[in-house]
Amino acid sequence: MKATELRAKDAEGLNKELKELLRAHFSLRMQHATQQLSNNSQLRKVRRDIARVRTVLHEKATAA
């Protein structure tokens, strides 16, 4: 997911995306804890996507 794609969304869409990413992150953490996660790089990708969404939300909040 690119930041330019996120900037095109409104705040409501970003919040929805953030909730989905947080659920995915929780699921991946549980899989990792139970030794069921085969691709550990997924955790890093989801964590960085969460950071991107939060950054864009913060940018929109300060611009308004």
Tell me, what's the pLDDT at 39?
94
Q: Which domains does the chain have, with CATH numbers?
A: 3-63 (1.10.287.310)
Q: Spell out the residues 6+ positions from residue 8 whose beta carbon is closer than 8 angstroms to its own.
A: none
Residue 8 pLDDT > 90, yes or no? yes
Query: What is the pTM assigned to this prediction?
Result: 0.92
> Token pair of 4, please?
């330019």
Other CB atoms within a 10 A radius of the CB of residue 17 amount to: 20
Other CB atoms within a 10 A radius of the CB of residue 59 amount to: 13
Tens digits of per-residue pLDDT, 11-64?
999 999 999 999 999 999 999 999 999 999 999 999 999 999 999 999 999 988
Contact by Cβ (8 Å): 56, 6: yes
Tell me, what's the pLDDT at 64?
80
SS (H, E, C) 26-39: HHHHHHHHCCCCCC
